[in-house]
Amino acid sequence: MDRMRMESVDMTAQNIDKIGSIFPNCITETVDENGKPKKAINFELLKQMLADEVIDGDEAYEFTWVGKKAAIVEAHKPIRKTLRPCKAESKEWDKTENLYIEGDNLEVLKLLQESYLNKVKMIYIDPPYNTGNDFIYNDDFKMSADEYIDEVGEIDEDGNRMFKNTDSNGRFHSDWCSMMYSRLMLARNLLSKDGVIFISIDDNEVDNLREICNEIFGLRNYVGTVIWERAFAPKNDAKYFSASHDFVLVYAKSLTNFSIGKLPRSEEANARYKNPDNDPRGPWAADNMTVKTYSVSYDYQITTPNGTVISPTNGRCWFTSRERMQNLIEDGRVYFGADGGNTPRLKRYLVDVQQGMTPTTIWKYDDVGHNQEGRQELKKLFDDKGYFDGPKPQRLLQRILTVANLKDDSIIFDFFSGSASTAQAVMQLNAEDGGNRKFIMVQLPEKTDEKSEAYKAGYKNICEIGKERIRRAGDKIKAETGADIDYGFRVLKLDDSNMTDVYYSADEYDQNMLSKLESNVKEDRSDIDLLFGCLLEWGLPLSMPYKSEQIEGCTVHTYNDGDLIACFDKNVPDNVIKTVAKRKPLRAVFRDNSFANSPAKINVTEIFKLLAPDTRVKVI
């Protein structure tokens, strides 16, 4: 019976297996730092297999910085952490499918790799803009000043200064790039094949972010860059220009699988369509009928209704053949002006475009809101108190949700959730169209300033503001719409592993020492803690329903009608094991001390082979 890892997936090992499936002859064996054998790649042989595709020498087009390699390694490194349920701070725990997760988003992303692999339709993040005071993430791969100097060669071996490092070039940007690179690497794995990511950013790091995204998502999957007019009034004290815009970078997981959502047509857009000739097909707008791509067969003369002969302008030709042009004219789809002698124009009918408008790359605050609007929206929820700086306006987020082309059951993920504006936008959209979209919010529990209004009101960290916003926004939406949707959320908090050190290094303890250890599970961990830890490893979503019941004095937990059945009691009787096996769950998990001895554990294996041969059984 296999033991569970109780740690996040080792993505390096996964990547080695992927290479091995294509080039099995390039896989060799080495030993780790503890002298244990492990798989490795023979890179010299792999280079030979790739032949001409290998780049020799130092010349190559690339985007790099000091710490990039460490960021990649960090993204793939497994961690021994878990997510612990917190029912007391949740809303409608038993029936909600939304999640609010507290903790460093890099570690949370690692833990979600299996449960949400290829399942997220849309990611929206509003990360730190690296303005000098908003970058609080302290990753293990950040370098000390001495390490940085060694890497970039600022001082040579003789102690001579090579060049001066400034805040605008070097570590200031390197740390931010490292922080974003590792997180976006992991985030991409979660996107579905038709998924899309939107990232808000300003001038400080937009160029670096674009290069990072080109590497991680691929330039071929670049959708566009939106310019959002975030300020409705200029700052007259600006030294040079008054910055009035931010950017939203948009990348698809696979551009061939992504289709952009159309925007509702505005009255202004519809007003451009007229019907001066009383065409029975309704209002239309005139369009040019010539093109620059020249073709001799498309260069011909047209005789207008009043007898005027019209030719394309020099260097251009008509957009279609003579025969099709005549058919369009006879069908009344070409307009020659009121006197019938003007240059022909093609009629584009309003009825043909009413399904929506293709979004443009410039979003004005009149249409999607401005930065002060976002702040005022939050203040209204919190009795006119300004507890959070810089929340995005709901109209902007609604536009993003529309452009993402979400399905009714899509998962929306925000791992820099801040005040949880995205969660409110998802609930609002569901209330308007009856959808069942789910959100996953992740936020570092950054402490609020002790001098701030938020702290004085009892909000000790940003997460407390975010959770309260979701509660209040849900109540507001329900009162205004009466919609019967999911207004709840499950709170999960990042914590150290549920398991003690002995679980991971049992081979370092002899039998006499093991007999003195009562449990390999930490004393403060509950059955539900263990259950959710198992969900992460089994790759099950964390939002499904479950029930706990008593069977012959043992507590048995059934997750999502049998996706997983778990029992963590000591000395579980055979009758309970048989009851679980007869239900034929997809997975079953017990504790090591659920069985009195090794023969009892072997007996459990035989019971499942007989009654539920397809069930995967593991122990912790």
* Residue 136, pLDDT score: 55
Q: Judge whether residue 245 has pLDDT over 60.
A: yes
Question: Per residue in 373-397, pLDDT tens?
Answer: 999 999 999 999 989 988 999 999 9
Q: Judge whether residue 517 has pLDDT over 70.
A: no
- Own/partner long-range contacts of 382-389 (Cβ < 8 Å, ≥24 apart): 382/468, 382/469, 382/472, 385/453, 385/454, 385/457, 386/453, 387/419, 387/452, 387/453, 387/454, 387/457, 387/459, 387/465, 388/418, 388/419, 388/454, 388/462, 388/465
- Give the mean pLDDT of 231-249: 90
* Residue 581, pLDDT score: 98
Distance between CA atoms of 154 and 151, rounded to whole angstroms? 8
Radius of gyration of the chain from Cα atoms?
30
Question: Per residue in 6-60, pLDDT tens?
Answer: 999 888 888 888 888 888 888 888 887 777 888 889 888 787 777 666 566 666 7
* Residue 205, pLDDT score: 94
Question: Per residue in 332-348, pLDDT tens?
Answer: 999 999 999 999 999 99
Question: Per residue in 475-496, pLDDT tens?
Answer: 999 999 999 999 999 999 999 9
- pLDDT band of residue 141 (cuts 50, 70, 90) is very low
For 85-107, the DSSP string reads: E-GGG-BSTTT---EEEES-HHH
- Give the mean pLDDT of 544-552: 97
**379 phi and psi, to 5 degrees?**
-60, -40
- Give the mean pLDDT of 554-558: 98
* Residue 484, pLDDT score: 97
- Helices then strands, counting H and E runs in the chain, come out as 20, 25
Q: Judge whether residue 506 has pLDDT over 80.
A: no
Return the percentage of the chain with pLDDT > 70, whole number.
90
* Residue 133, pLDDT score: 59
Distance between CA atoms of 72 and 139, rounded to whole angstroms? 12
* Residue 26, pLDDT score: 87
Beta bridge partner(s), residue 224: 250
- Give the mean pLDDT of 137-154: 49
Q: Judge whether residue 169 has pLDDT over 50.
A: no
Helix crossing, 462-481 with 421-433: angle to 10°?
Answer: 20
- pLDDT band of residue 140 (cuts 50, 70, 90) is very low
Q: Model-level pTM?
A: 0.85
Compute the C-alpha angle 44/49/55, nearest 5°.
Answer: 65
Least confident of 75-84, 153-162, 555-564: 153-162
88-92, 230-234, 311-315 — most confident range? 88-92
Quote the distance between the C-alpha of residue 357 and its chain's center.
26
For 209-236, the DSSP string reads: HHHHHIIIIIGGGEEEEEEEE--SS--T
Distance between CA atoms of 498 and 85, rounded to whole angstroms? 12
Q: Which of 369, 367, 391, 368 is nearest to 381 (CA)?
A: 391
- Give the mean pLDDT of 538-550: 97
Domains in the chain, CATH or no CATH each: 8-59 (no CATH), 84-128+190-261+361-494 (3.40.50.150), 267-352 (no CATH), 523-619 (no CATH)
* Residue 159, pLDDT score: 46
